[in-house]
Structure 1
Amino acid sequence: MNVVFDFGAVLFEWQPAELLRTHFSHLTPTAEAAQKLAVDMFHHEDWVAFDRGTRELPDVVAAMARRLALPADMLHGFLAPIGERLLPIASTVALLEQLQHRRANRGDVHLYYLSNMPSPFARVLENRHDFLRHFEGGIFSGDVKLAKPDPAIFELLAGRYGLLPADTLFIDDSAANVAAARRLGWQAIHCTSPAALPAQVAALLPA
């Protein structure tokens, strides 16, 4: 069984509204205001293009500053170090290590990742977190100019590593990404609670 992990909100904490409340407190007096700013910032084509690797951060910052009427230097100071602010989710790291142990002893599990992640942030994570070495391979969107839920990025991962759909389990916090994987014949878990993942994954692995 191939187990494919997303990163944000699955393997690493990703709570953009909380980050914004910390760094833009004057603009986010309420949780609702923080959530609206998070949507305006991270669910717009400006950011999606950065995720996909088709725009560089300085261009994104300039466009976002104009669109949201925010100082460009403040935006850059917030966005540039996001890679360093992504903290591992302990329960998912423990699951990854358990699966790596099973792979070493039984050889019936293989570990990969498929993450929408800008290339600069991906390099930071690779350099900071030794547990990523448990993965046999994977794809960051920013490196291939494709992003989930585009089926092409799923097919690229499958082709690169010889993954058969029926033998592949995909874990993601996005319902749209999970639906895209299922349309390709992959098994999938919609991760809404990382603490629940060990039991969910165990139920789908070979006995």
Structure 2
Amino acid sequence: MQNIMLFPKNILFDLGGVILNLDIPRTMACFKSLAGSEEEFNRIFGLLAQEEHFERFERGQISADDFLARFVDLAKRPIDKAQAKMAWNAMLLDLPAQRINCLQKLRAKGHRLFLLSNINEIHLEEVRKIIREQHGALDFDGLFEKAYYSHEIGRRKPDIATYQWLAEDAGILAQDTLFVDDNADNIKGAREAGFWAQLHLANTDLERAMANYLK
């Protein structure tokens, strides 16, 4: 399937790396500091990966308290949940006003906008805090016809069933929808579900990427 539509009726956006700036290595560096060494960091994160700890959190299958407590339990050095939470949130940066303007322009052009984010309870709380601090009373979710957060819907990308479920829930057709994400696996999943898809270079100019649909 081609990467460009002439005029997508619907545009489905990812959040982190597309609308909100992310720096994942920043979180990794914070956890390495808490762990005390790269070897200890690799041990902890290797065990968490085996347990699918992050995926389960993004599906809302474990609580925020249990998510943080697992880091504390696995660490050999004394750390607390507040430190783990600070490290976990370190990747979340800013939401540039230009991207909000871009979304508003796309809506004005007649595109129906939706959001699909692999996220979790802790990060969504922090994202809302960032938005309040940077944009006051902005109704971020109101920029979209509907916002889908993985931990609230119990589904995550790149599962094909997630895109199929969303299309049915939103009342849209995959072939009429452009999906924009900075993760190649998520793009692949969307295309396999019948969506048009555009891979976005993380943390770059969204309006430039959407130029074809703003004419």
Q: TM-score range by the shorter chain?
A: 0.7 to 0.9
Q: Tell me which residue corresponds to 1:12.
A: 20
* 5+ residue gaps, structure 2: 1-8, 133-137
SS in 2 for 1:180: helix
Distance in 2, matches of 1:56 and 1:124, equals 16
Deviation at 1:78, TM superposition (A): 3.6
Q: Tell me which residue corresponds to 1:99.
A: 106
Distance in 2, matches of 1:23 and 1:64, equals 9
Question: If each structure's helix is expressed as a fraction of its own residues, which one has the higher value?
Answer: 1
What does 1:139-154 correspond to in 2, within 5 Å? Answer: 139-154=148-163
Instruction: Name the CA shift for 1:40/1:118 in 2 (closer, same or farther; >3 Å).
Output: same
Deviation at 1:6, TM superposition (A): 0.7
Distance in 1, matches of 2:128 and 2:170, equals 19
Deviation at 1:96, TM superposition (A): 1.4
SS in 2 for 1:169: strand
- Structure of higher RCO (CA pairs closer than 8 Å, 6+ residues apart): 2
Q: Structure 1 residue 136 and structure 2 residue 145: aligned?
A: yes
* 5+ residue gaps, structure 1: none
Number of residue pairs aligned between Structure 1 and Structure 2? 194
Amino acid of the residue matched to residue 115 of structure 1? S
Which digits, 9 at most, give the CA deviation of each residue in 1:61-107, with x for residues without a partner?
2323344535441x5434268299442144433321321332xxxx3
What does 1:40-59 correspond to in 2, within 5 Å? Answer: 40=45, 44=49, 45-59=52-66
SS in 1 for 2:204: helix
CA RMSD of aligned residues (A): 3.3
Pick one of 102, 111, 114 that aligns with 2:113: 111
Give the TM-score normalised by structure 2: 0.74
Distance in 2, matches of 1:151 and 1:69, equals 39
Q: Tell me which residue corresponds to 1:77.
A: 83
Distance in 2, matches of 1:28 and 1:13, equals 27
Contact 1:170 1:186 in 2 (8 A): yes
Moved more, 163-172 or 112-121: 112-121
Distance in 2, matches of 1:26 and 1:40, equals 12
Q: Tell me which residue corresponds to 2:6.
A: none
Contact 1:12 1:89 in 2 (8 A): yes
Deviation at 1:111, TM superposition (A): 0.6
Distance in 1, matches of 2:31 and 2:90, equals 15
